[in-house]
Amino acid sequence: SQQGEEDPQALSIQEGENATMNCSYKTSINNLQWYRQNSGRGLVHLILIRSNEREKHSGRLRVTLDTSKKSSSLLITASRAADTASYFCATAGFQKLVFGTGTRLLVSP
């Protein structure tokens, strides 16, 4: 299975701090995606990074990808209470998208 493992499982920070989440996977990929899930809701796509890219930015989000280490990180800068959610990485290979185990982020005011 190429399921992503995310680290940490849970993260608690103060507003204004940066939050970093990591994702490791097992097999070759075409792209890696990050999703956000608010409590009790569906997932929302945040950002996609292709296998030939190393870094990508979108607003306060920065994603890196290291295919040699089979790992990715998601950085949320200047976090807000509204960023409180679960974050999932998902890897797209030759078969269907496979989701990681998720990181629960709590941002306190």
Partner 1 sequence: EADIYQTPRYLVIGTGKKITLECSQTMGHDKMYWYQQDPGMELHLIHYSYGVNSTEKGDLSSESTVSRIRTEHFPLTLESARPSHTSQYLCASSESGRTDTQYFGPGTRLTVL
Q: Tell me: does residue 31 bind partner 1 (CB under 8 A).
A: yes
Residues 95 and 109: their CA atoms lie apart, in Å, by: 41
∠ Cα 4 18 55 (to 5°): 55
Question: Would you say 91 and 2 are in contact if contact means Cβ atoms under 8 Å apart?
Answer: yes
Q: How many residues bind partner 1 (CB under 8 A)?
A: 22
Q: Tell me: does residue 43 bind partner 1 (CB under 8 A).
A: yes
Residues 18 and 43: their CA atoms lie apart, in Å, by: 22
**Positive/negative CA dihedral, 12, 69, 61, 1:** negative
User: What part of residues 45-84 is at the interface with partner 1 (CB under 8 A)?
Assistant: 45, 48
Give the interface segment with partner 1, choosing from 17-25, 60-68, 72-80, 86-94 (CB under 8 A): 86-94
Q: Tell me: does residue 40 bind partner 1 (CB under 8 A).
A: yes
Beta pairing, strands 103-108 & 71-76: unpaired
Give the interface segment with partner 1, choosing from 14-22, 60-68, 73-81, 89-97 (CB under 8 A): 89-97
Report the residue from 25, 86, 87, 89 that binds partner 1 according to the rule CB under 8 A.
Answer: 86
Residues that bind partner 1 (CB under 8 A): 1, 30-31, 33, 40-45, 48, 86, 88, 90, 92, 96-97, 99-102, 104
